[in-house]
Amino acid sequence: MDIEHVVRGRVPRPGGFDDIVVTVSAGVVSDVRAAAEGDPSSSGILLPGLVDIHNHGGGGASFHSTSSDEIAVAAGVHHAAGTTTLLASTVTDAPERLLSVVSVLATAAEDGLIAGIHMEGPFLEHSCRGAHDPELLMAPDPGLTRELIAAARGQLRVMTLAAELPGADEVAAVLTSAGVVVALGHTAASAAQARAFLAGPGGLVTHLFNGMPPAHHRSPGPVLGSLGAAGVGDACVELIADGVHLDDETVRAVMSMVPGSVVLVTDAMAAADGDYQLGPLSVEVRSGVARVADGTGNGSIAGGTSRLLDQVRRHAAAGIDLAMLMKAATLRPASVVGLDAGRLEPGARADLVITDESLRPTRVMRGGAWLSA
């Protein structure tokens, strides 16, 4: 027997909220209408499930793993926090290890636990490597790329690539022919190279500002080249808007410059204070900030510790329109990687997030089922 749910809440619209009632049947949104007298009382603020397309793990567990149990723990942490759709991200590693990890992640995607795979590395610029093992970075290799695509069994959605490396264009062509989104990232490309890449095979920028040289008024580099491409084309830029990777004013400025092209991501890793592995590298988390454990205390930031709704809440409190933020955390990331997610409309999978007035989640539905707190 199909379970039907009727949920009333205030859904954000530009400049305010609409009071609506959502009916869920057989795991799908069957009706959305304006609330009327006699309807159930409001549950709070009602949001579509959030979509995170750059996520390395959570709850002490990593997606860069060959353990299905560990992958399930990481996914469950983000699902319960309101991110009902996510891509599992890998990091730079030895080719044989990458092939094993991708194969296990493909099974998790086939089982519906994750929505696909994002590969970050190994074809990255050494000087912009961030938390990627320098010994394992390699030149873009079309043969290895084909092997990874095969191991992913149709579940590879995104691969991050430094556009300026020799062989990058050939790898980008292999990825594009397989339906994989090519993301510009961990790159020292010039502004012209970034623009050309994003006007061609590239449709996404991996965590803008992070893993690339800063913009300078006489050397604009990949930051301003990416923003220019996003302003005139279809390319999107990821922002890790957690107050650690980017200053809040930077987030505000980018969202005002290219409001329809921003994708909020967590770049989350295992998180919580302690010591972890991020692929082959050791990482230490102190006061919520993850850094490579290089022994100096000044290691590169090694991923985020926020949940996607944390970022939405942070910037809504700072005055950015909630409807704009939600688009950057739902429809835009889903569309750029070809996922049908982040919608609160008839026919959509029933992924709902109920929050209190401060945007802290109180209940999450995924595929028509309420998740345990």
Tell me the per-residue pLDDT of 181-233, one tens digit each, with 9 for 90 and over: 999 999 999 999 999 999 999 899 999 999 999 999 999 999 999 999 999 88
Cα distance between residue 193 and residue 196, in whole Å: 5
Taking Cα atoms as reference points, which of 150, 161, 209, 153 lies closest to residue 185? 161
Residue 126 CB: number of other CB atoms within 10 A? 12
**Is it the case that residue 296 has pLDDT exceeding 60?**
no
Tell me the whole-structure pTM to 2 decimals: 0.93
Angle between helices 168-177 and 142-152 (to 10 degrees): 30
Contacts of 64 (CB under 8 A, 6+ apart): 56, 57, 89, 90, 91, 93, 101, 278, 279
State residue 11 phi and psi, 5-degree precision: -100, 135
User: In sequence order, what are the residues at sequence separation of 6 or more whose Cβ sits closer than 8 angstroms to the Cβ of residue 308?
Assistant: 50, 51, 52, 78, 81, 82, 83, 264, 265, 266, 329
pLDDT for 301 equals 60
124 vs 282, residue with greater confidence: 124
Residue pLDDT, tens place only, 30-42: 999 999 999 999 9
Alpha-carbon torsion (339, 343, 347, 353), positive or negative: positive
Q: What is the pLDDT of residue 281?
A: 61
Give the torsion through C-alpha atoms of 178, 179, 180, 183, to 10 deg.
120
Place of tokens 């567990």: 61
Output the pLDDT for position 279. Answer: 62
Spatial distance between the Cα atoms of 169 and 123, rounded to a whole number of angstroms: 12
Distance CA 252, CA 248 (A): 6
Give 301-319 pLDDT, tens digit per residue: 656 778 999 999 999 999 9
